[in-house]
Amino acid sequence: QKEVEQDPGPLSVPEGAIVSLNCTYSNSAFQYFMWYRQYSRKGPELLMYTYSSGNKEDGRFTAQVDKSSKYISLFIRDSQPSDSATYLCAMSARYSSASKIIFGSGTRLSIRP
């Protein structure tokens, strides 16, 4: 069993729709939860990070962490064609020095104009 599970998609939604992306994990030691966006032929870029449980909002993006269920989500409101990319969830037991980041396999998202 992988430490982090993520539905690979692909997920295709019309422009303006609300998108929900999810990951589950098995390691209770994870404390930092991140979402990265990766465009084709590019490196991942950090969208949001959350420490422990709770919600965090940044513009059209909302990240949720439920540690009791070992479940994290990313919501994208008013989705745009420019949001089309692969979204990677990522987690770390500590996010300082040698903390390795464990990534999900990524969900490919396509926003139809």
Partner 1 sequence: ETGVTQSPTHLIKTRGQQVTLRCSSQSGHNTVSWYQQALGQGPQFIFQYYREEENGRGNFPPRFSGLQFPNYSSELNVNALELDDSALYLCASSSLSGRAYNEQFFGPGTRLTVL
Give the binding site for partner 1 (CB under 8 A): 4, 6, 8, 32, 41-46, 49, 51, 88, 90, 94-106
Residue 109 burial (10 A CB sphere; 0-12, 13-18, 19+): buried
Cβ neighbours around 36 below 10 Å, total? 21
What is the helix (H) or strand (E) element at residue 97, kind and residue range?
Answer: none
Q: Cβ 13 to partner 1, closest distance in Å?
A: 21
User: What stretches of 1-113 show up as alpha helix (H) in DSSP?
Assistant: none
Q: Cβ 24 to partner 1, closest distance in Å?
A: 14
Q: Cβ 15 to partner 1, closest distance in Å?
A: 26
**CB nearer partner 1, residue 16 or residue 54:** 54
What separation in angstroms does the CA of 11 have from each of 7, 32, 83, 110, 112? 9, 26, 12, 6, 10
**CB nearer partner 1, residue 19 or residue 106:** 106
**CB nearer partner 1, residue 88 or residue 111:** 88
**CB nearer partner 1, residue 61 or residue 95:** 95
